[in-house]
Structures are given as C-alpha cells and as structure tokens.
Amino acid sequence: MAPKKTKSGEIDLSLRFRFGIHTIFLLVSPLTTFDDISVELLSAIRERYPRGLSSSRISPNDTPIPGDGEEVIVVYGALASRHNLESWRDLKIQGSETPVSKSIKDGTDIAFLVRTPDEEDDPVKFVVEWPRLDDDDDEDEEQ
C-alpha cells in the first residue's frame, strides 16, 4: 500500500522509532513538528507498553514512560553510519523542526530517549538492540 498524500500534496513518511528491543512505526507528515511527533510517539507507547519499555531482552520493562501530562523531553538520533548499527548521532532537535528540516527520508530508523527535565543535561546514549537469530533458533531451523 502506497503512503497516503496529505492535503498539501506531500507524501507521509513511514518512520521506525527505536528504543531497546522496541520498534514503533509511525506514519507522519514530513512537515509535522517533532513536538507533535513526540506527542504521537508517547501516546502510542503509553497505549501499547503501559508498564514501560525494555532496553534489552534480559531487562524487561526497565524503562518507565512518564504519564500523560508529566513534562518530558524526547531526544532523537540517527545512525551515524549505515555500516555501524551501534553508532547513533544526536539530531539535536528543537521542537519546531520537522523531518524535512533534518533531511529525514521515508523508512528511516530513528533512535529515541525519553527524559525528564532533570536529565536534560545528561550525556545522550541511545540504546537500540537489533533483532538477531540466537544460536538456539538456528538449531531449530536445521531440524
């Protein structure tokens, strides 16, 4: 199914927001501000993962998501290199910026962190665990 066109004619972007073991797909207008994208992303997370997000497969629900109405800051990152899936760079987004203003294309992976205002000055470290086949899974497939 092709992405839908918005009223002004631009095609919505399908973006993959990543944290830990989670990938949240959102369809957003390229002209939507990151403030609005953050609201939509947090709403989807609160609905789908009410107990919080897992930063790894061995740490379930170890990252609580602040409730609706609590002040939060969402920090976004992009892969620093397509060849290094462990290296993310902070996009340093200001609320009024849009995917277009950051040259974000359809299908882009975007890491995110949810912070409280007290954590605003802490160093940014994006946690993304990519899907992989375990050795046990490989053995099961061979049988």
Each residue's pLDDT tens digit, 105-137: 999 999 999 988 888 888 889 989 887 766 455
- Predicted confidence at residue 135, as pLDDT, reads 47
Region of poorest pLDDT, from 49-53, 58-62, 115-119: 58-62
Sketch out the chain's domains with CATH numbers: 13-142 (3.10.20.90)
What pLDDT is stored for residue 9 in this prediction? 56
* pLDDT at 10 > cutoff 50: yes
- Residue 97, pLDDT score: 95
121: left (phi over 0), alpha (psi -120 to 50) or beta: alpha
Sheet containing strand 22-28, edge to edge, reads 22-28, 13-19, 109-115, 73-81, 84-90
pLDDT score recorded for residue 100: 94
- Report percent pLDDT > 90 for the chain: 50
**Which of left, alpha, beta for 114 (phi over 0: left; psi -120 to 50: alpha)?**
beta
